[in-house]
Chain A
Amino acid sequence: MSLLVVQGISKRFGGLLAVDAASLTVPQGAITGLIGPNGAGKTTLFALISGFLEPTAGSVTFDGTDVTREAPHLRARRGIARTFQIVQPFAGLSVRDNIAVGAYLRHSSRVEALARSEAVAREVGLAPMLDGPAAALTVAGRKRLELARALATEPRLLLLDEVLAGLNPSEVRDILPVIRRIRDSGVTILMIEHVMQAVMNLCDQVYVLSQGRMIAEGEPRAVCADPRVIEAYLGHGAAARIQEAHGA
């Protein structure tokens, strides 16, 4: 069953068509990847799905309900959580209080929210930093905090916007099992990612966005061999040249 269905969605900023009639389907319980060159419109597409931008055309359906015009906080209540590519910590608060803001979505009591906050911090490996200020976290720590806050809302669909960007290889290796565990706990994931090692490792299905259009979809390995995808990244004619090089 598909948890999220995006149909023919477009977003126009003045003369720029950032997302052009893109469609995608995220099946329940899977990790779906969204890749594409810089400026392809991936983050804009995320903003349309999470409600931070209103589409020029098209629709977003979550769990059978049309949420195209719904405000972000209402979508969060439905179970859509997102992280931000450019991390947005509540800098003046402790890590614990940061995560608690997410936990308050499903728990009205402070004791429960804080307990939930601690549990989530342990899940993503932030437990030792709980009482420190969020502003003191490293880049990797901040990425984990984004993840933790989103998880604390107990989402059904988690939108991860480049949670691995800016991390060194060992940090990436540390966080991959965390993401897998989240999936195993029943949360459906849609992730934008540039780190191909992660995409290959994690994703069941990958969509490729280029210049606002969805140009390919399928299993990670198949998609990476797709000439259209190679050309989107490396330029016109690149696929043929690679083929030649391999043939020679």
Chain B
Amino acid sequence: MVIQCIFEGIVIGSILALIAMGIALIWGVMNVLSFSQGEFLMIGMYITFFLNKKWGIDPILSIPFTAILMFLIGLLIYKTLIRKALKGPILSQRLITFALSMVLVNGMLMLVTSEFRTIQKITFSGIIDFGFLVISKEKLVPLTVSILVTTVLFFFMNKTNTGKAIRATSLDKDAAELVGINTEFSYALAFGIASAIAGIAGCVLAYYYYITPTAGTSFLLFGLIAVALGGFGSIFGAYIGGILMGLVDVFAGVYFNTAFKYVAVCVLFMLVVSLRPKGLFGK
């Protein structure tokens, strides 16, 4: 049972971690708390769903396409909305992303109705039953994908010039401009990447979750908390924050009380930030 809990906790944590990384990136670079990340996740799920319905593409194979498409959608939203919003006060920025999430949810509701859908054609499925541990093959996908994305993102931010430029922009925008970094480009790129990661999270989530326009909303709060738990600006921190929350979620549910499992998550978060106001790995 304990082993099963650990496994399930890490799987759930992986998905939260993917959402959290996108939020962490936007937070770190633009200092905006993005409330629309859950909706990007939802749109990613819909892209996966329609690819699957039309051509029978397995969600795992649709990851590259979804990521690219979400990247472009993210760029579009950045260019039309977020760029203007960044000139306003911080709170307005947050509320604009909140209103954006409302627009996206209800726009999707008008487009595709609220009908609950699920991915029907999954080639990569089945279970391996060890008795003490049941591993569903579908759950290995979020696990591997999240580790891959974290690694790729980590190397991109630390080893490539573009990544370094984004980091420089997040540290000091004016100084970055002085040394010839196109900060506008960095911002757009960061927002696009964050949307793409949300899209990837949507792909892996589609394996077991239902797809409806409001599906992303419930993940948002926990994604946000995971970022703050790990400490912002740290991609690694967001990953650990997500995993930790997944573990707390499952263990609190099984050994404490299912009705109060989210209370346990929230209380843990409040305790951590009370003791370490910048999160576990915050600088």
A and B: interacting chains: no
Chain A interface (Cβ within 8 Å of chain B)?
Answer: none
Chain B interface (Cβ within 8 Å of chain A)?
Answer: none
